[in-house]
A and B are shown apart, each in its own frame.
Chain A
């Protein structure tokens, strides 16, 4: 897959801040108001589109959602009718859509077919393990990927660059779930001389007590799912950082810096990297969608009790209200994080602020 560098969000197209030159001279607010309003408006439109897609995907595409959910199970006509009434799909489509939009706007995501409890409370009770897993993995993958990406680009064409790029491309071509399975076989079950070091799944063992032992037990549970997830996102960070920095490498200001007699390290750290850093930071946020997808697989393989496992269970039923709720929640989370990245952008890059 090609790693296209995401265009800096509206860096070039941003209208000048109100007040024009005067505002620039006073350095203006850290985040230009009109810019911020535009981004927030854009995110709101995206969110609306998600809500519409949710309705279309789970109410219209299946034909009869109740039949889709009860596929392969013996149900009689009265049960079907009761279910249809419960999910409100015995009403005309327009009325359904009105109900649905109002419900979602109130934060009510309906009732799970499988658990018989509200989708919002299910998400609430499963969200933290996922945040924790995705957060840890993203942090480690970003630190590793960006750092190695910088080194690769700086010494491009060298043996270490080719090795790093090669590893990244292999990881990129690897199915997440398969990597997880192989890690379980090698490090949990044990192969040959390697003993089973890590637990096969879950977040903790029930028989461990005391602060330090349970902390250690917890870390041991985290290692394998975390490694799986890091492998998914690491490659993209490395390749993007490398590509971005490579574009800077021929730039005149770097020649100037070198001509001034700066050490190579200083040229890299103080001149080249800060300029290449911005697309990379954006990427960390943009990539959250990939991280969420990866977390579904990692959690499924390692029975990590988070939203990913919940999504997998909902898929197998299929529990449409729960799927719908999770779809909206995942998308909302990603849109929100992107909005955050766009709002942070002018703070990180003065060129966006004053343009």
Chain B
């Protein structure tokens, strides 16, 4: 399976890029100090064009765009991963429960899932974020509780196919309870698919984080790609044509979201032979 993944160039380059970003984001505190990111004692003049002092210019406060963009990766990735854990957790719970028990609980759960799929997610998430206290935690919750339905569907389908295998019957015959069957026999078989779904959800969550932050629903004092773009719009970077403030955070979002999507698609193809034929 790993060898199969290795052969997929798009997935591998996405993975390599993500590893690089993760290393840079983790190492950021080594070369960016809180002084560099201070809005009040910013190291440069506001909205300075790229030059020898600042490679990519400065933002609305006078902070280096290089530093801001690198630091932004920390919040954006953290929110993306945490929201995904929440979403995939809910999705797996709903999917395994619906797939294992069947009957009316499955009908109810899948109706709720379908209902969530149809609803305008951004409306729900932003309403939730507006109603709660604005902040990073709120954004994680708002994304997490709205991004799970697709995982639930995929996990349920896989659970149904695992349930039909003989060893499940054997486990039940030997007296394995519901919890035992779900934990020891179904979950390990659903895990790989959950991983693929999680990778795809991260890309969705990073986009949603940027969007919610841009709408002013996150903590504006935390530097993320979304808040940087929100600040850029507030200080009039758009009409003044300060492209260096707009370009780096947006390009970073596109690159990271695309990388997660490529990895997720490659994983899906490795795990699902039917998709494989299509490539």
A interface, CB within 8 angstroms of B: 1-2, 4, 42, 45-46, 49-50, 57-58, 61-62, 68, 156-157, 169-170, 172-178, 181-182, 184-185, 189-191, 200, 243, 246-247, 250, 286, 289-290, 292-293, 296-297, 300, 311-312, 315-316, 318, 320, 323, 326-327, 330-331, 334-335, 338
Contact of B261 among A1, A57, A191, A289 (CB under 8 A): A1
Q: Which of A173, A200, A243 has the most CB of B within 10 A?
A: A173
- Indicate if the CB atoms of A175 and B120 lie closer than 8 Å: no
B54 at the interface (CB under 8 A from A): no
Task: Check A175–B115 contact: CB distance below 8 A.
Answer: no
Best-surrounded residue of B111, B262, B278 (most CB of chain A within 10 A):
B278
Known: A181-B238, A289-B120. A176 touches B246 (CB 8 A): no
A residues less than 8 Å from B232 (CB atoms): 181
**B211-224 vs A, Cβ < 8 Å mask (1 yes, 0 no):** 10011110000000
Which residue of chain B has the shortest Cβ distance to A61 in the bound complex? B131
Is A178 in contact with B261, judged by CB distance below 8 angstroms?
A: no
CA A289 to CA B171, docked complex, whole Å: 43
Cβ–Cβ < 8 Å partners of A46 in chain B: 115, 118
Pick from B127, B232, B265, B279 the residue with the most CB of A within 10 Å: B127
- Residues of chain A within 8 A of B207, CB atoms compared: 173, 175
Residue of A whose beta carbon sits closest to that of B153: A4
Contact A175 B130 (CB under 8 A): no
The stretch of B22-30, B44-52, B178-186, B250-258 in contact with A is B250-258
> B160 an interface residue at 8 Å Cβ cutoff?
no
Using a CB–CB distance below 8 Å, which chain B residues touch chain A? Answer: 111-112, 115, 117-124, 126-128, 130-132, 150, 153-154, 196-197, 200, 203-204, 207, 210-211, 214-217, 229, 232-233, 238-239, 241, 243, 246-247, 249-250, 253-254, 257-258, 261-262, 264-265, 268, 277-279
Docked Cα-Cα span, A326 to B279, in Å, equals 42
Contact yes or no, A68 B131, CB < 8 A:
yes
Which label, helix, strand, loop or mixed, suits the secondary structure of the B interface?
helix
Q: Give every chain B residue within 8 A of A316 (Cβ-Cβ).
A: 216
Query: In the bound complex, do residue A175 and residue B250 qualify as a contact, i.e. CB atoms below 8 Å apart?
Result: yes
Residues of chain B within 8 A of A157, CB atoms compared = 279
What B residues does A185 contact at CB under 8 A?
Answer: 238, 241, 243, 246
- Cβ–Cβ contact A175 & B210, under 8 A: yes
24 contacts between A and B (CB under 8 A): A1-B203, A1-B261, A2-B150, A49-B112, A57-B131, A61-B128, A61-B131, A62-B132, A156-B278, A170-B254, A170-B258, A173-B203, A174-B250, A175-B229, A175-B254, A177-B211, A178-B246, A182-B250, A184-B238, A185-B243, A312-B215, A315-B215, A318-B130, A330-B120
A331 in contact with B150 given A2-B265, A61-B128, A323-B127 (CB within 8 Å): no
* Interface residue SS majority, chain A: helix
Q: Say whether, besides A46-B115, A189-B238, A1 and B204 are in contact (CB < 8 Å).
A: yes
CB-based contact B200/A2 at 8 Å: yes
Known: A1-B261, A50-B119, A189-B241. 20 other contacts (CB 8 A): A42-B111, A68-B131, A169-B261, A172-B261, A173-B253, A175-B214, A175-B253, A178-B250, A181-B250, A182-B247, A185-B238, A185-B241, A246-B278, A289-B118, A289-B120, A297-B214, A311-B123, A315-B126, A315-B217, A335-B118
